[in-house]
Structure 1
Amino acid sequence: MNLNTPFRSHSVNETIRAGSEFGKQLSPGDVVCLTGDLGAGKTHFIKGVASFFGVDPDKVNSPTYTLINEYSGEIPVYHFDCYRLKHEQEALEIGAEEYFYGDGVCLVEWPEKIGSLIPDNAIWIKILHLSGSERDILIHQKNSE
């Protein structure tokens, strides 16, 4: 998967495989921000990334009510879901910045809710639901929302 070149996924399994392929380029300290409408496929993509690091994808689910799920793999994988946050302060209170500058990979759904906390070098992924199970997945270095 290349920067600024959309990848077209035709199924949930392809989206998971795309996440796993993308995971190959990640290393500890990377922060990946995923944007897209509800149901766009962000969590499926994250299942793929986590599986690359040895996490069972069946164990990966959106931490909508807990904010962060921590997965133990070859390196730690931290899965954020900021959808329900009302203020950035809530993310600070649970130590989001410590995760962002820590020893794992951070995968953040709804990053726009904590925009000023996101590191400048974060990778941004936009997932667009086209129709049925088709998605376009676009990777950027900077947020271009």
Structure 2
Amino acid sequence: MTREDVAAFGDRSIAAEAVIVSHGEDDTRKLGRELARLLPDPAVVALIGTLGSGKTRLVQGLADGCGIDPRAVTSPTFVLVQEYLGKRNLYHFDAYRLKSGSEFVDLGSEEYFARPGICAIEWADRVKEFLPEERLDISLQATTAESRTVRILARHGRYVACVETLQKLFLS
């Protein structure tokens, strides 16, 4: 996570951290597939990164890992939240166009967080004060046209095993 990302999310304790290098879109989708397999239920994943950093590609991988056709997943910018039903449900939020955090709450975010499945929130730094403390933060940063540095932070003990396993699978 960059210094700006840490500042955006404050001083919350970090239970575990992994840094993974994605060498392209296929790696990013693979990371998402593995993540879907490893996340506890329910799970909240806060995605942070600039336009084109790979947030939606990661969510496509999550979808694939949940038994959902990844081609159905697009950036939900104009819809704000998409529900994808599969072996495991995926709720895909995009906070980019929200004018305030209260709009995020009005979407029913707290109810989604309690549902079985995975809640993936793009542009999560814009609604940080409305996210549960128990979550996984993922920051994607472009290092080249294809490569990304992916920093994964477990914000609670129940995400530690997930982060540790990902680190072993994707040694970078």
- Given the two structures, how large is their TM-score scaled by the length of structure 2? 0.78
Q: Partner of 1:135 in structure 2?
A: 148
Which of 43, 59, 67 in structure 2 is aligned with 1:46? Answer: 59
Identify the residue that residue 65 of structure 1 maps to in structure 2: 78
Larger % of helix: which?
2
The structure 2 residue matched to 1:117, chosen from 130, 139, 142, is: 130
Tell me, in whole angstroms, the C-alpha distance in 2 between the residues paired with 1:121 and 1:89: 20
User: What does residue range 1-145 of structure 1 map to in structure 2 within 5 Å?
Assistant: 3-142=16-155
1:141 Cα deviation after fit: 1.6
Aligned CA-pair RMSD: 1.1
Question: Matches of 1:22 and 1:81 in 2, distance apart?
Answer: 19
User: What SS does the aligned partner of 1:79 have?
Assistant: strand
Segment of structure 1 superposing worse, 100-109 or 21-30: 21-30
Distance in 1 between residues matched to 2:111 and 2:77, nearest whole Å: 20
Opposite residue 67 of structure 1, the aligned amino acid is L
Mapped contact 1:69–1:79 kept (Cα < 8 A): yes
Q: How far apart in 2 are the matches of 1:48 and 1:14? A: 9
Normalising by structure 1, report the TM-score: 0.92
Cα shift at 1:28 = 2.5
Using the TM superposition, give the Cα deviation of residue 94 of structure 1 relative to its aligned residue in structure 2, in angstroms.
1.8
- The structure 1 segments of at least 4 consecutive aligned residues displaced by more than 3 Å after TM superposition are none
| 2:18 counterpart SS class | coil
Residue ranges of structure 2 left out of the alignment (5+ in a row): 1-15, 156-172
Higher alpha-carbon deviation: 33-42 or 3-12: 3-12
> 8 Å contact 1:34–1:108 — kept in the other structure?
yes
Distance in 2, Cα, partners of 1:129 & 1:74: 31
